[in-house]
Amino acid sequence: MTNRSLAVEALKAFLPRVPRYGFERNFDRPGHAEVSRLSSWIRYRVLSEEECIHGVLSAHPFSVAEKFVQELMWRTYWKGWLELRPGVWTRYLAQLESLKVERANCPQYHSATRGQTGLSFFDDWVSELVATGYLHNHTRMWFASVWIFTLKLPWQLGAEFMYRHLLDGDPASNTLSWRWVGGLQTKGKIYVARPDNIAKYSEGRWSPKDSELNLNPEPLPQDGVEGARPLPSLPALPLSSVRCVLAHDDDLSVDLYLKGVSGEPRYCALKLDLCSRADKVGVFMEQLRDDFLARTRGVSVTGVEGVVRVMQDAGEGVIYAPLPRCGDELPVLIQLQSKLRDQGCDLVFFRREWEERYFPLAKSGYFPFWNAVKANLQR
């Protein structure tokens, strides 16, 4: 069974559990049956957000499915929020660069990332993350809180470590969630990991002592956030003339999105350098990419020459690609676009209708965003 087939089956298998989701989603139990575990496919858009929501709302009334849909829309919100404020991402990267020396020479950092802090609960979370590429969302919040407030390590290094190991690691969701825990995302509001909360929602698997946690931390110093910019406009996708399509790891169901295109476009998928991600993540992404190429009868490309060759085979001077969101893929694609232009070829970006509709709504907090989305989805 292909990865796309596995993803579709996982969505179908989760549908009967949707009515219990709101009551059980915060419990971190072995096997994680209380949550959907769809996030690793949604991250690379093997499953799209709209496909998941359509599937859930086809099976349940909105009132029953609302909590799951609301949680699913957090990913769209985080992506949209960052697209409207890309400086937050570039500043995070600059901060990581400035922390290189500290990361290399900090014993506390190495103890934390090796699961050798002496805090048995935290060390268990590190072991699970590294071994499986997954942590329950509630546990990610505990993890980040302990990292920032108890271990007093730079949040940027924690976000980088988690992103490196998560199969569903998403630049927007991961980075902004860490900022939220530390009090940078919503000014003055922090998330504090508390012993009773950890014990309750792990059902006693982890029972920290009060003395093991910092229970009265201060928010991190504000680092400044620019106001939301308008979402940059892109040309409409001319469906009747799309003959060549470049896919990338940010969107591996673009072929399904373009099903209405007359004829069959020539597809290729850009293989990115995965040295910044853990081996387990690299293998998973390779499988997803291979699955896409098998489905589309496409070819893997690594640079300008490969893309030009695909375009020449198709007799086309233009190739289309979904615009990557803020993150690893975007600068690579922008650079590729420039190099292709030097070769007399055009790489034209487009944005999915879902993003055009919902990203501009992420101008402030989540709940104003959700209220607008909710009205749209109910219609």
Burial 265-287 (b: 16+ CB within 10 A, else e): bbbbbbbbebeebbebbeebbee
What percent of the chain clears pLDDT 70, i.e. is strictly above it?
A: 99
pLDDT, mean of residues 86-91: 96
Nearest to 7 by CA among 50, 58, 48: 48
User: Is residue 192 a contact partner of residue 152, using CB atoms and an 8 Å limit?
Assistant: no
Residue type for 219, please? P
In whole angstroms, give the CA distance from residue 111 to residue 105: 12
Asked if pLDDT for residue 311 goes beyond 70, the answer is yes
Residue type for 372, please? A
Q: In terms of pLDDT, which residue wins out, 187 or 342?
A: 342
Which 8-state DSSP code applies to residue 217?
P
Tens-place pLDDT, residues 294-310? 999 999 999 899 999 99
Cα 236–Cα 241–Cα 244 angle in degrees, nearest 5? 100
- 89-212 topology per CATH: DNA Cyclobutane Dipyrimidine Photolyase, subunit A; domain 3 (1.10.579)
In whole angstroms, give the CA distance from residue 254 to residue 258: 6
Least confident of 216-220, 257-261, 268-272: 257-261
Question: How many CA atoms, within 13 angstroms, populate the side-chain half-sphere of residue 27?
Answer: 14
- 3-83+358-378 topology per CATH: 1.25.40
Question: Which pLDDT belongs to residue 378?
Answer: 79
In whole angstroms, give the CA distance from residue 41 to residue 132: 15
Domains 89-212 and 239-355 share a fold: no
How is the chain split into domains, by residue range? 3-83+358-378, 89-212, 239-355
pLDDT band at residue 262, thresholds of 50, 70 and 90? low
H helix runs in the chain, sequence order: 3-14, 18-24, 39-43, 49-59, 62-83, 87-98, 100-105, 107-113, 120-132, 137-145, 155-165, 171-182, 195-201, 254-257, 279-296, 304-314, 329-342, 353-358, 366-378
Nearest to 86 by CA among 301, 334, 370: 334
Question: Which pLDDT belongs to residue 239?
Answer: 82
Instruction: Judge if pTM exceeds 0.75.
Output: yes
In whole angstroms, give the CA distance from residue 197 to residue 262: 55
In whole angstroms, give the CA distance from residue 1 to residue 358: 33
Q: C-alpha 203: how far from its chain's center? A: 28
In whole angstroms, give the CA distance from residue 226 to residue 237: 30
User: Is residue 52 a contact partner of residue 357, using CB atoms and an 8 Å limit?
Assistant: no
Question: Which pLDDT belongs to residue 14?
Answer: 96
Q: C-alpha 35: how far from its chain's center? A: 17
Question: Which pLDDT belongs to residue 260?
Answer: 74
What percent of the chain clears pLDDT 90, i.e. is strictly above it?
A: 89
pLDDT, mean of residues 100-122: 96
Question: Which pLDDT belongs to residue 263?
Answer: 74
Asked if pLDDT for residue 253 goes beyond 70, the answer is yes
Burial classification of residue 295, based on how many CB atoms lie within 10 Å of its CB (0-12 exposed, 13-18 middle, 19 or more buried): middle
The mean pLDDT of the chain is 94
Tens-place pLDDT, residues 221-243? 988 888 999 999 998 888 888 99
Asked if pLDDT for residue 372 goes beyond 90, the answer is yes
In whole angstroms, give the CA distance from residue 188 to residue 180: 10
Cα 145–Cα 147–Cα 151 angle in degrees, nearest 5? 120
Question: Which pLDDT belongs to residue 261?
Answer: 75
Question: Which pLDDT belongs to residue 233?
Answer: 94
Tens-place pLDDT, residues 15-68? 999 999 999 999 999 999 999 999 999 999 999 999 999 999 999 999 999 999
CATH number assigned to the domain covering 239-355:
3.40.50.620
Burial 301-324 (b: 16+ CB within 10 A, else e): beebebbbebbeebebebbbbbbb
pLDDT band at residue 379, thresholds of 50, 70 and 90? confident
Asked if pLDDT for residue 191 goes beyond 90, the answer is yes
User: Is residue 249 a contact partner of residue 44, using CB atoms and an 8 Å limit?
Assistant: yes
Least confident of 128-132, 258-262, 349-353: 258-262
Reading across the β-sheet that carries 266-270, which strands appear in turn?
Answer: 299-301, 266-270, 244-247, 318-322, 346-350
SS3 245: strand
pLDDT band at residue 376, thresholds of 50, 70 and 90? confident
Q: In terms of pLDDT, which residue wins out, 1 or 127?
A: 127
Nearest to 41 by CA among 285, 359, 345: 285
Asked if pLDDT for residue 334 goes beyond 90, the answer is yes
pLDDT band at residue 1, thresholds of 50, 70 and 90? low
